[in-house]
């Protein structure tokens, strides 16, 4: 997603039209600002687990990303995903998040978004399937923070899906993930 497009989408954010109240967003952002972790299930501010994590699971329909260490849930994140329909990514520009099993392939400290973790999409069979359909499968699928200079939006970014096929968290959350997740970490993305 280009910086200009992300900026336009995030500025259009409907600040009053969502299930989480404005005070709830303020509570989440205040918690994260202190270096704590927000527990989205209990709605409590907690001490963050120091990591590392060895598995990332993204549930697109629940807008939830969960991270694990040795089979134990370490932390969960409310996420914004691709603006495309809920199906799996089929081609470049469809705005969908891919589904399946991948690995984190790189850390990018110079991302157009506040840090990013590259997801190893497309796999060779996805490249072949796209070629058979005569389309480009796309790429540059990341777990990332907010566009640079837009961190002030905070947790409100989850009010709608705005990425071009990535998984987005707050800047404080990507800072924690960036340290806790190693290259090669498995990522499972499901509908």
Residue 72 within any structural domain of the chain? yes
Average pLDDT of the chain, as a whole number: 91
pLDDT grade for 19, boundaries at 50, 70 and 90: very low
> What's the maximum distance between 2 C-alpha atoms anywhere in the chain?
50
Residue 174 pLDDT greater than 60, yes or no: yes
**How confident is the model at residue 23, as a pLDDT?**
86
What would the two tokens of residue 50 be?
């120091």
**How confident is the model at residue 85, as a pLDDT?**
87
Residue 118 within any structural domain of the chain? yes
**How confident is the model at residue 166, as a pLDDT?**
97
Distance CA 80, CA 76 (A): 13
Residue 3 pLDDT greater than 80, yes or no: no
Q: Print the domain residue range for 79.
A: 3-12+52-190
Residue 163 within any structural domain of the chain? yes
Residue 107 within any structural domain of the chain? yes
14 vs 96, residue with greater confidence? 96
| Closest to 189 measured CA to CA, from 52, 39, 81, 75 | 81
16 vs 171, residue with greater confidence? 171
Lowest pLDDT segment from 2-11, 21-30, 72-81, 135-144: 2-11
CA separation, residue 187 to residues 29, 79, 103, 181 (Å):
26, 15, 5, 10
Segment 119-141 mean pLDDT: 96
pLDDT grade for 10, boundaries at 50, 70 and 90: low
Residue 82 pLDDT greater than 50, yes or no: yes
pLDDT grade for 15, boundaries at 50, 70 and 90: very low
Residue 129 within any structural domain of the chain? yes
At 152, which CATH number? 2.40.440.10
Q: How many domains does one find in the chain?
A: 1
**How confident is the model at residue 16, as a pLDDT?**
38
**How confident is the model at residue 119, as a pLDDT?**
98
Residue 161 pLDDT greater than 50, yes or no: yes
| Closest to 179 measured CA to CA, from 48, 64, 28 | 48
């Amino acid at each position: 997603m280009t910086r200009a497009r992300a900026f336009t989408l995030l500025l259009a954010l409907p600040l009053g039209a969502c299930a989480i109240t404005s005070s709830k967003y303020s509570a989440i952002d205040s918690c994260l600002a202190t270096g704590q972790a927000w527990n989205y299930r209990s709605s409590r501010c907690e001490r963050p687990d120091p990591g590392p994590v060895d598995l990332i699971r993204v549930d697109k329909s629940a807008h939830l990303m969960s991270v694990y260490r040795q089979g134990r849930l370490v932390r969960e994140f409310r996420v914004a995903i691709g603006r495309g329909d809920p199906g799996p990514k089929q081609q470049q520009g469809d705005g969908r998040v891919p589904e399946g099993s991948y690995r984190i392939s790189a850390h990018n400290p110079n991302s157009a978004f506040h840090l990013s973790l590259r997801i190893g999409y497309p796999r060779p069979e996805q490249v072949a399937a796209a070629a058979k359909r005569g389309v480009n499968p796309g790429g540059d699928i990341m777990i990332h923070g907010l566009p640079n200079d837009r961190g002030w939006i905070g947790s409100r970014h989850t009010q709608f899906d705005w990425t071009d096929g990535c998984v987005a968290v707050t800047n404080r959350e990507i800072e924690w993930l960036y340290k806790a997740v190693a290259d090669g970490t498995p990522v499972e993305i499901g509908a």
